[in-house]
Structure 1
């Protein structure tokens, strides 16, 4: 790493300060991604990160919502939240600093990519950003950031003993997959007069697999940006609806942040049908993040540069075509989830 002059050292410190300020919780991270994309729409990854971070927030509040407290122990809930929060925090810590440096380079017209190493960014990304300054290849940059961020959490979270023992080896993680609770969805309004939002997305399978997570990220990017008309509708929804991490943000006809949930000991009775709730049934409890999870203190991001093998360059050239889901598939997955809760809750009580 080359020595750094005072002016550049001050810029790195300011980027770190701004990154830390915005990295307070899932809500502040998600807002920061969207605000950046609004100013720099050529950085497609920022909108993808915003929407995936929204999903991360929904997963966090699910842990205190209608279903999971019925089938998970409190300690498992705490562990799983920390896993989600740590991944969300680490990705923002690494990626948002890069976005802020790019913003500075765009403003000044100067190539400051040598400062990436002083921000702890992998050597994999320096030539990518340098090329992007000249060519504005949004697809290549997005794929590179997807690869990098999944590599970044691989050694810092996924491959840690905590994740292996407390998350992936526990019944709770497999229950998440069984109940289809590991989905990423993008809401949008098909027509301006529609009251109900549509969703598109995909189910995340085999999360512990690095190559699978990269493929999922690339596929989500394609789903988001391959259809310009739908992209505009998804973006308009994201811009219009503030992120609270309650699922009522996108489907208030089905979820509510304020309806009191039945006691955990009460047997759950399925209440979803094809078009929404069965008549007379209360909405599903989906709290706002601020109501159920306090801000967390994080240890520093440890680890070393992951980039050792040029095989990862091939990921920048390849698409990843995987199954996606629509409204009908999503509502079926919700029905599967609540039937799973109804069946498993008595067995676990």
Structure 2
């Protein structure tokens, strides 16, 4: 039913029908209103045995609402709506983004695009392809900022709002001995996390990665740090700043990059490398990072949960597995290859040198 007109919506036109995700958000808002504002808590809504006809608990947590949500999801799926998570970001996609964006870093002083370099074909906003075949929706500065965002979000399994709130003061550079040679590492201490809103956020330690330059957080940090310090004289305030124009970021260090602007830039970047951006979202980095740590780095699940800040006592294993498995993710192994004795191995491990599937 349309809440404005009071008329029943036509199921034949799914564009005018709210999605199941919208229903989930409505229920979450209702739960918060009754639980926090009206002080009903988060207990199930049940009849008071002492006073029949009166009820205790949160109405949003009633059996009727729970059954309705389950039934609603079935009807949505039958009606053609696919309820899925954002597609996990793959390492090869990040590598392709890195290689494409890297060519802009070689431009001297990373100038803003002039009117003369706007595309031969555009969309009315001056965005298109220039004479050298480069996409003109953003220049070097914006792309290097996005590279650092991609890297830190992927490696630290960060939510979008957690990454966008990072300030320069939250990142410290520490000396580190790499096989006896002096090197540096990054210590990232988040000021806020959804699961640690009262403090106690453990820091992330990030090291150089020479084997995978597209996933090297130290290089991405240094490049973006040099750009910001060169343009503004110092690095203060938010790390990821508001975009201004094609290739600029705000001089106001208190203006952070918005979620909408990030999503627009991210999807444009995916189209640069001919990847369909529709299945992806900002949660793709968190999901992709979890899968990469499990499948490529072969971390134990307990370590992944501890690193990501998930439940310490592992009382809800679905929290992890919903990130590892989804129908929208590309399968790592084809169905016919699982038991194939001649199945090819993957990339060689830099430590042990093994590449077999059982490594």
Q: Please state which band the TM-score falls in when normalised by the shorter chain.
A: under 0.3
Q: So what's the TM-score if we normalise by structure 1?
A: 0.23
User: Which has the larger share of helix?
Assistant: 1
Largest Rg, 1 or 2: 2
Q: So what's the TM-score if we normalise by structure 2?
A: 0.22
